[in-house]
């Protein structure tokens, strides 16, 4: 490594401290510190990981990243994440379509199962509109607009929004990142506040499942409806309506 580091910047002879000043590579101590910090942060997101840290007298981190928090024990009883399958959009299109078709047909008559999605307001960056639609008939059961850090944060809030409906028992989301955050008991602080308020009144847990996105029509004859894509269109439609309503109000104030 030392020989390669000196040859690359065309330095025939160089002291170690001069090489470090170039920023070519980190010291062993820096690598060890970064690895230690990463492992503590990762273990702090899981119940078993927090138990391991406590056994070795290391305090788990409540804040795993900026704007995120570890869910408290009462809230952990609310969302239960079903296992995520190992499917990639490129090599597994058949498996994704089969999963989407199976879930859609199984829950087609369930009015307690909701599909959620969020769409960003193009006129206002970081503002999103989220919807929760019923799997049985596609009607909008809950909707809301809010500010979010990114699309994953918005998808988290969409799941929490559906959880506020006492009729909801199952939530389908196409955001693997958002679902994994719930699985690791680590969400944004705003999502945690949603769940905290909901968890005080709910008597039944909510199951969160991943639904493949952008799989297209599920049935050539149209007997199986893709409610997930309908939720996406509903969110985009409400976002478009909110944008034009806001622009119309601004013109009225300025006239």
What pLDDT was estimated at residue 68?
A: 76
171-198 pLDDT tens trace: 999 999 999 999 988 888 888 888 887 7
**Per-residue pLDDT averaged across 88-92, rounded?**
72
192-229 pLDDT tens trace: 888 887 766 677 889 999 999 989 889 888 789 999 99
The yes or no reply on domain 69-254 and CATH 3.60.15.30 is: no
Delimit the domains of the chain by residue range: 2-43, 69-254
CA–CA separation, 120 and 151 (whole Å): 8
What pLDDT was estimated at residue 87?
A: 67
pTM for the structure as a whole: 0.69
57 by Cβ neighbours in 10 Å (0-12 / 13-18 / 19+) ranks as: exposed
CA–CA separation, 96 and 75 (whole Å): 31
């Amino acid at each position: 490594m030392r020989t390669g580091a000196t040859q690359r910047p065309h330095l025939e002879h160089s002291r170690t401290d001069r090489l470090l000043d170039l920023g070519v590579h980190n010291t062993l101590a820096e690598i060890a510190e970064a690895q230690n910090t990463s492992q503590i942060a990762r273990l702090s997101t899981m119940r078993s990981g927090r138990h391991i840290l406590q056994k070795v007298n290391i305090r788990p981190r409540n804040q795993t990243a900026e704007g995120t928090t570890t869910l408290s024990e009462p809230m952990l009883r609310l969302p239960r994440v079903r296992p995520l399958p190992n499917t990639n959009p490129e090599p597994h299109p058949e498996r994704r379509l089969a999963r989407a078709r199976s879930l859609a047909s199984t829950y087609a008559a369930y009015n307690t199962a909701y599909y959620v999605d969020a769409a960003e307001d193009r006129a206002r960056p970081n503002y999103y509109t989220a919807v929760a639609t019923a799997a049985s008939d596609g009607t909008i059961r809950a909707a809301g607009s809010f500010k979010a850090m990114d699309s994953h944060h918005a998808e988290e809030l969409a799941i929490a929004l559906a959880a506020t409906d006492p009729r909801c028992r199952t939530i389908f989301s196409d955001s693997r990142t958002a679902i994994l955050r719930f699985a690791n008991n680590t969400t944004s602080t705003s999502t945690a506040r949603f769940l905290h308020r909901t968890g005080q009144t709910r008597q039944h847990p909510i199951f969160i499942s991943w639904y493949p996105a952008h799989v297209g029509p599920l049935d050539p004859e149209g007997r199986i409806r893709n409610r997930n894509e309908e939720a996406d269109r509903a969110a985009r439609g409400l976002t478009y309506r909110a944008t034009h309503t806001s622009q119309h109000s601004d013109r009225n104030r300025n006239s």
